[in-house]
Amino acid sequence: MTEARVPLHKPLFRGDRRLCIALVGLPGGGKTTLFEAVSSTAPQRGELAGTHGTYRECTVQIGFDEASVVDLPSIRSFHHLAGDDLTTLKYLLWGDERPVVSAHERQGPPTPFAPPDLIIQVADAGNLQSHLELTLELSLLGRPIVLALNHMDEAAKKGLYVNARALEQLLGMPVVPTVALMGQGLTLLFERAANAARVAACPLPQPPSGHIAQSLGPLSAALNRPEIHAAFRLPHPMLLQQFAAADGFIEDELCQHFPGILPELRVLRDEAGASLPRRLAEELHADRHHRAASLAEAAQRWGSPGEAKGWRFWLDELFLHPQWGLIGCLAVFAAVLFVVFEISTWIDAMTTVQLAAAFAGWQPQSTAGVVGRAVLDGLLGLTGIVVPYMIPLVLLLVSLEQAGLMQRIAFVVDRGFHQIGLHGGVAVPFLLGLGCNVPAISGVAKTTRGRERVIASVLITFVPCSARSAIILAVAGKYLGAAGVFGMFALTLILIAVMGRLLSRHKRELGPGRVQEIPAYALPAWRPLLRETWARTSDILTIVTPLLVGGSVVLALLAHVGADVVVNTLLTPVTVWWLGLPLALGVPILFGVLRKELSLVMIYQALGTQEIDRLLDPAQMITLLVFLSFYVPCISTFAVMLRTVGRRDAWFSVALSVAVALLLAGAARLVFGGLRMPGG
């Protein structure tokens, strides 16, 4: 097996050296959409000091690097700022490090964290000129800048095409085309941002036109004093342009801190404007407008780019669109259900069912024979999990991952998963859980960490695996109709959503956000496909097999020595008193810890018939279904949880599932027992 080598760029931005990135832009550029696409499940919120302007901040993982990303209020221009806009500019300049000129201000620093190491400006590619005016002003800050050309899809629909490479050369800063709403270009955007910060690559100087620069020469020389720069901590070109444009904040601070110099500076500013056709402030604005228009004209053109909209475009329109993407998710979900309930059922009938029928006549009475039969039952149960359900489903999902579809689904559902404290990347393990919870939890362990891993693992234990689904279809489908089947699956979805909300609030851990990669479409390759399938199912041989066989032997010996009567009696408070079920169902319910559908087979045996509607009324069947569906993850799932989340959280999952099953089943008995059920 070849080892993949990932380049490691130094210095690494992690821990105390974490990169700080500010997202800025005009209204409508998509800055907030971009932040939400990469943010953590619970970003921090706050107000800029002394304003009503709010910011959001979270840590984002960028490969091996980490960045603190700050979503700032929109800002239109640096000139004649007041209130919220001025405070936003103060954060970009100084962060929590107040300069001398701000020492007298009553409110504290704008934010409680350091100024940004790098700025990402999010610009609307379809309205480029106005956004480039802000770009020219940002370039005066003396910090690395990356320009995100957002809404590239909308610009293309208008027939407008932007040459990002040409604009990058003109501005001297990285320019990355993005469609933040669909997650396109975000991986490259943040990779280039980290690299720009690593080499401290600032934009090319963007001075005003020659006639303005010449007229500002004397004023520039007079302002270029060490004491002024020490007080303001501003790059000289920015200080010069702000004062030349008669910015109120700069002039007020000069009046307070340098009253002796200010009259001279004003005279020089008036002299600079006297040689220009318009007032100096108007000439500066017109010049900036003209330079932005020239940049936009050089980088964009109207007309067809010469590329037809192929199948990749239309697939992205389906899978990455915020609304249509849900239809794509449902299509994949339907494919998974088809594999589980059609293909896997057929494979099960051709393999496990045939093997079970072949050994059905062997019912030994000796202790050694009972142990041998229990070992065989355990192995048959293992075969019934792996061959029909696990392998086909894992092959399907890995194929979809290699094709690039699952990453798109993860992006679309990311915001929904945030509501339960998770990222969209766990969508694949959740789908995998429909076949078997074991590889699903193993998949979660590889892609998550900390509290998120625990929450995802616990929630997956409530996903109806093929065994639970078989029980629901066998009982609800036969005796309660389509409404019963739909109700059980709907109850599962509601339970997962509610439990996710509760678990994410309990001991909440603010994990980092993620820049989810949207890879190119590709055909799955057989060798990597089989290798990854083995990696996701190998836990069955090493962990699950001995526990499944051992558990089968223990329960078989209990029945062999007549301890099943004792077990039924001990479980009376649960089965009879709380659930209102026959006493004989204690042992069948206990056997559910091995494999859920084994409980159903033993229920038939305990009641002496497969027509259980003769002995159980509809309310009792609903109660039994609810309890079997939610209580105690099977021993295979528990074994994997011991390894992935630890003993404490694995036992917490067991206790939670038992509590939830008892509560919901008791509620079902109370509600449906008092109603006249169909067929009751």
Average pLDDT over residues 295-306: 75
Look at residue 283 and tell me if it is in a domain.
Answer: no
3-state secondary structure of 145: strand
At residue 606 the predicted structure's pLDDT band, cuts being 50, 70 and 90, is low
pLDDT at 680: 40
Which residue do the tokens 């990222």 mark?
423
Average pLDDT over residues 356-375: 84
Whether omega before 235 lies within 30 degrees of 0, making that bond cis, reads: no
Q: Where residue 108 sits, what CATH number does that domain have?
A: 3.40.50.300
Sorted by sequence, the CB contacts under 8 Å of residue 482 that are 6+ apart come out as none
At residue 190 the predicted structure's pLDDT band, cuts being 50, 70 and 90, is very high
Look at residue 518 and tell me if it is in a domain.
Answer: no
Whether omega before 11 lies within 30 degrees of 0, making that bond cis, reads: yes
Contact call for residues 371 and 546 (beta carbons, < 8 A): no
Which residue do the tokens 């940004």 mark?
116
Tens of pLDDT, residue by residue over 464-499, are 876 787 678 767 777 787 788 788 888 998 998 888
One domain, residues 366 and 416: yes
Contact call for residues 388 and 348 (beta carbons, < 8 A): yes
Question: In this predicted structure, which of 149-163, 404-418, 655-669 has the lowest mean pLDDT?
Answer: 404-418
Look at residue 9 and tell me if it is in a domain.
Answer: no
Instruction: Find the domain containing 61 and state its range.
Output: 15-199
At residue 318 the predicted structure's pLDDT band, cuts being 50, 70 and 90, is confident
**DSSP character for 612?**
G
Closest to 460 measured CA to CA, from 472, 452, 470: 452
How buried is 541 (Cβ within 10 angstroms: 0-12 exposed, 13-18 middle, 19+ buried)?
exposed
Contact call for residues 60 and 514 (beta carbons, < 8 A): yes
Mean per-residue pLDDT of the chain: 82
pLDDT at 546: 76
Q: How far apart are CA 209 and CA 515, in angstroms?
A: 39
SS percent in the chain: helix, strand, coil, step 5: 65, 10, 30
Average pLDDT over residues 378-400: 76
Look at residue 94 and tell me if it is in a domain.
Answer: yes
- When divided into structural domains, the chain yields a total of 3
At residue 677 the predicted structure's pLDDT band, cuts being 50, 70 and 90, is very low
Tens of pLDDT, residue by residue over 111-160, are 777 889 999 999 999 889 999 999 999 999 989 999 999 999 888 888 88
At residue 25 the predicted structure's pLDDT band, cuts being 50, 70 and 90, is very high
The torsion of the CA quartet 592, 554, 445, 326, rounded to 10 degrees, works out to -20
Look at residue 138 and tell me if it is in a domain.
Answer: yes
One domain, residues 257 and 385: no
Tens of pLDDT, residue by residue over 208-241, are 888 898 999 999 999 999 999 899 988 999 999 9
Tens of pLDDT, residue by residue over 235-263, are 999 999 999 988 888 888 899 889 889 99
Look at residue 521 and tell me if it is in a domain.
Answer: no
- Helix orientation angle between 324-338 and 391-403, rounded to the nearest 10 degrees: 150
- b vs e for 162-179, b when ≥16 Cβ sit within 10 Å of the residue's Cβ? bbbeebbebbebbbbbbb
- pTM exceeding the 0.75 threshold for the entire prediction: no
Contact call for residues 37 and 135 (beta carbons, < 8 A): no
One domain, residues 245 and 355: no
Contact call for residues 108 and 49 (beta carbons, < 8 A): yes
208 Cα distance to chain centroid: 44
One domain, residues 150 and 228: no
Average pLDDT over residues 613-635: 86
Look at residue 644 and tell me if it is in a domain.
Answer: yes
Look at residue 431 and tell me if it is in a domain.
Answer: yes
One domain, residues 482 and 612: yes
Q: How far apart are CA 429 and CA 457, in angstroms?
A: 9
How buried is 624 (Cβ within 10 angstroms: 0-12 exposed, 13-18 middle, 19+ buried)?
buried
One domain, residues 235 and 364: no
CA gyration radius, the chain:
33
pLDDT at 268: 92
For residue 640, CA distances in Å to 146, 276, 546, 658 come to 44, 77, 12, 18
Tens of pLDDT, residue by residue over 52-75, are 778 899 888 888 888 999 999 888
Average pLDDT over residues 620-640: 85
One domain, residues 597 and 660: yes
Sorted by sequence, the CB contacts under 8 Å of residue 483 that are 6+ apart come out as none
Residue type, 287: D
pLDDT at 1: 39
Q: How far apart are CA 650 and CA 488, in angstroms?
A: 25
193 or 338: which leads in pLDDT? 193
3-state secondary structure 42-64: CCEEEECCCCCCEEEEEEEEECC
pLDDT at 431: 75
Sorted by sequence, the CB contacts under 8 Å of residue 537 that are 6+ apart come out as 386, 390, 391, 394, 439
Domain stops at, among 168, 199, 230: 199
Tokens of 138: 């940002």
Tens of pLDDT, residue by residue over 547-594, are 667 767 876 787 778 777 888 888 899 889 999 998 888 887 877 776
**Pairing state between β 300-302 and 160-162:** antiparallel
Closest to 592 measured CA to CA, from 584, 580, 600, 582: 600
One domain, residues 531 and 574: yes
Q: How far apart are CA 304 and CA 311, in angstroms?
A: 18
Contact call for residues 480 and 618 (beta carbons, < 8 A): yes
Sorted by sequence, the CB contacts under 8 Å of residue 342 that are 6+ apart come out as none
Question: In this predicted structure, which of 84-88, 130-134, 509-513 has the lowest mean pLDDT?
Answer: 509-513
Domain stops at, among 261, 276, 291: 276
pLDDT at 508: 53
Contact call for residues 603 and 627 (beta carbons, < 8 A): no
3-state secondary structure of 448: coil
Residue type, 383: T
DSSP codes joined into one string, 46-113:
EE-TTSS-EEEEEEEEETTEEEEEEEPPP---STT--HHHHHHHHHHHHTT---GGGTT-SS--SSSS
One domain, residues 661 and 603: yes
One domain, residues 106 and 22: yes
pLDDT at 605: 59
Contact call for residues 34 and 146 (beta carbons, < 8 A): no
One domain, residues 251 and 176: no
Domain stops at, among 152, 167, 199: 199
Q: 79 pLDDT exceeds 70?
A: yes
One domain, residues 261 and 354: no
Closest to 159 measured CA to CA, from 305, 292, 298: 305
